[in-house]
Structure 1
Amino acid sequence: MDAAADELLRLAFDRAPAMEANQAIARIRAEAGDELSGATSYELVLPTDNVRSFLLDHTLPRLVDYLESSGAKLPHCGGVFLSVFSGDTLHFLHARDVVELLSRWSGLSMAELKTRYGPR
């Protein structure tokens, strides 16, 4: 596995077989959400190689835009977790942890991420 994928997936707070994705995502939503609204899953399929480039070039801009426009503002990204498919395993990561990692990798601060990739 790619070193960047290893670093990302070490952030996982839970895992499940990918074949059980629907049930596992529903379980995480129920555990992470409050009584009025469940948590939101942002789903992502990791490529087998060039993971760092994929995450910085494709995922980071879309993720920041989604978080900022949905009200799950950086840096806390409240109520959002990532469901990351890698091989036959589904990994669950807090959005705030992923954004923090990608911020570090990109060299951009949270404010710079918001300005560059947030809604216009």
Structure 2
Amino acid sequence: MTDAETFLRLAFAQAPASEANAAISRTREEQEDSRSYELVLPGGDVRAFLLERALPKLVDYLESVGAKLPGCGGVFLSVFAGDTLHFIHARDAMQLLAEWSGASLEELKRRYGPR
């Protein structure tokens, strides 16, 4: 299984990317006014992209909006991969990214959280 497949298997729902606005709004309502954090997966090295580019920004965002690690309450990721939009709970994504990075969630918070 590729890293992209492993990451996208975390999705709790999917929708066509062409219906993104409606799908994100619907998911916010279903998740009780959750916040959406959008990502576009590259076609290349997904693990490197997620760990080097997305993870630092995601941790900073989560901590800044009060969606503290480890639970990341109220935030889901809207991940565009090809023509499909995948919805992943931020807590699930963070668990996998912590595992891939070899760092604990506390270490990631210290490393990338707001200063």
Q: What TM-score range do you get, normalising by the shorter chain?
A: over 0.9
Distance (Å, rounded) in 1 between the aligned partners of 2:37 and 2:93:
11
Please give the per-residue CA displacement for 1:55-106, whole angstroms capped at 9, x wherever unaligned: 0000000000000011000000000000000000000000000000000000
TM-score by length of 1: 0.94
Aligned mates of 1:42, 1:79 — CA distance in 2:
11
Distance in 2 of aligned mates of 1:61 and 1:87: 23
- The alignment yields a C-alpha RMSD, in angstroms, of 0.8
- Identity among equivalent positions (%) equals 66
The number of equivalent residue pairs is 115
1:44 equivalenced with 2:39 (yes/no): yes
Amino acid at match of 1:43: E
Q: 1:27 maps to which residue?
A: 26
Could you tell me how far 1:20 is from its partner in structure 2?
0.2
After superposing on structure 2, the runs of 4+ consecutive aligned residues of structure 1 that deviate more than 6 Å are: none
Corresponding position: 1:78 with 2:73: yes
Unaligned runs of 5+ in 2: none
Q: Aligned letter for 2:40?
A: V
Give unmatched runs, 5+ long, in structure 1: none
